[in-house]
Amino acid sequence: MEKRWYYILAIGFSYIVAIFGGAFASGREIMQFFGQFGSPGFWGIILALVLFAYFAVVSLITACNWKTFDYKSYVTRLYREFMPEKVATRVYWAFEVSYLFLCILILGIITATLAQMFVSEIGISYGLAITIVAGIILVVVTFGADIILAFNFTITWLLLLAMVIVLAIVFRPIARQSWSVIASGVGLGGGGWAISSVLYVSYNLMGVVMITSLAEPIKDRFSASTAGLVGGIGIGLLILFEFLVCMAFYPQITKEALPLWFVSSKTGSSLVRFAYDFILTGAILTTGIGVTYPAVKRFMPLLLRKFGTQRRRMIRFLLTLMMILIGLGLSTFGLIPLVAKGFTTMGWVFTVVFLIPLAIFASKAAWTEKIQQYK
């Protein structure tokens, strides 16, 4: 394969992987932001597909123009498009704090997700379940994160592929029922589906931030645009697939904490249900490691300078424990309230601190500046 296309596909699929995670794999996010609206949720998914693709294209082009290949330099440079440099550097911390809160919220949600599955499958108490999940993440991040993160992309790709296969098996016998529900027009009226779609895209634009760190090999506007389109369309299709699977059981499925587990259990096949359990467990643990380790790494240098490098593992342990304890506290609220209230709130926050600046100022820069050529 030509190296140019290798980078295009690698960046595009990395964008998909960045969105795929525990709460997404449970189906709870899709039901909260799209499924609860019934048939109109279909149009929300189409809108999300367009926005995911457009913002990926714009961010990749501007990252290449500005030569900003990490999230701090990219966001700071974006803010400098409409405010003085010193002010942009200070305002960046609003983004940083919002990002940290989002990481902790995700940690709480994925802990609640896996705990809910343990309760449903094994019948243990919810408190014991969240303690087990938190303990696994704590041990892995403290002692084995470097090794696991090296293989994280491979693991997640396999989980993503397995997820598509399981969804296809589940969808086949209920396809007619699902399309009938969508065609009937049943659901909530008004334009709530459009606002919900924008909020969903907004807090998931962390995926955009992630792929800008991979953009350095891109050499032209075509490559940036194609990579963004591949990723955005891929995300949209995956969301649509989950939506179609769940809509066969609308409206009762909107009240399920784990919609996809509910659907897989309806097949009557223990093999399908346990396969989904394995996928969800893997997705949650990789997501937990993925959101915890970078946040811990971000604050490690500050503490290493004070306490010394010889205490690196202890510092990593304490930082991880602190994040997990906060996430553990959040997880006690339960999965449905966390997704409904937490992600919706962060959606509004990131609409202000990231989506609007990206839509206005990054768009202007992307379509008025000539993309740089790299040697």
Query: Which amino acid, 374?
Result: Y
Q: How far apart are CA 90 and CA 45, in angstroms?
A: 35
Q: Residue 149: what pLDDT? A: 47
Is residue 294 scored above 60 in pLDDT? yes
Arithmetic mean of pLDDT, 92-121: 83
Q: How far apart are CA 179 and CA 175, in angstroms?
A: 6
In a domain, 371, yes or no: no
* Residue 63 structural domain: 3-362
Q: State whether residue 220 is helix, strand or coil.
A: coil
Q: Considering only CA atoms, which of 60, 341, 76, 22 is closest in space to residue 212?
A: 60
In a domain, 372, yes or no: no
Contact in structure between 8 and 148 (CB atoms under 8 Å): no
Q: Residue 63: what pLDDT? A: 92
In a domain, 370, yes or no: no
Q: What is the CATH number of the domain that holds 103?
A: 1.20.1740.10
Q: Residue 33: which pLDDT band, with cuts at 50, 70 and 90? A: very high
Contact in structure between 170 and 18 (CB atoms under 8 Å): no
Q: State whether residue 189 is helix, strand or coil.
A: coil
Q: Residue 24: what pLDDT? A: 77
Contact in structure between 191 and 16 (CB atoms under 8 Å): no
Higher pLDDT, 42 or 298: 42
Q: Residue 372: what pLDDT? A: 56
Q: How far apart are CA 45 and CA 233, in angstroms?
A: 11
Structural tokens at position 73: 């330099």
Is residue 58 scored above 50 in pLDDT? yes
In a domain, 375, yes or no: no
| DSSP 8-state secondary structure symbol assigned to residue 372 | P
Is residue 202 scored above 90 in pLDDT? yes
Higher pLDDT, 333 or 220: 220
**pLDDT tens, residue by residue, 136-152:** 777 776 665 555 545 55
Range of weakest confidence among 15-29, 182-196, 340-354: 15-29
Q: Considering only CA atoms, which of 24, 311, 375 is closest in space to residue 167?
A: 24
**pLDDT tens, residue by residue, 216-271:** 888 889 999 999 999 999 999 999 999 999 999 998 998 888 899 899 888 888 88
Q: Residue 375: which pLDDT band, with cuts at 50, 70 and 90? A: very low
In a domain, 227, yes or no: yes
Q: Residue 281: what pLDDT? A: 81
In a domain, 257, yes or no: yes
Integer-rounded Cα Rg, in Å, for the chain is: 21
Higher pLDDT, 328 or 93: 93
In a domain, 159, yes or no: yes
Q: Considering only CA atoms, which of 143, 156, 147, 142 is closest in space to residue 324?
A: 142
Is residue 318 scored above 60 in pLDDT? yes
Please count the structural domains in the chain. 1
Q: Structure pTM?
A: 0.86
Q: What are phi and psi of 239, to 5 degrees?
A: -60, -45
| Average pLDDT, rounded, for the chain | 84
In a domain, 36, yes or no: yes
Q: How far apart are CA 171 and CA 372, in angstroms?
A: 45
Q: Considering only CA atoms, which of 186, 166, 190, 164 is closest in space to residue 177?
A: 186
Q: Residue 374: which pLDDT band, with cuts at 50, 70 and 90? A: very low
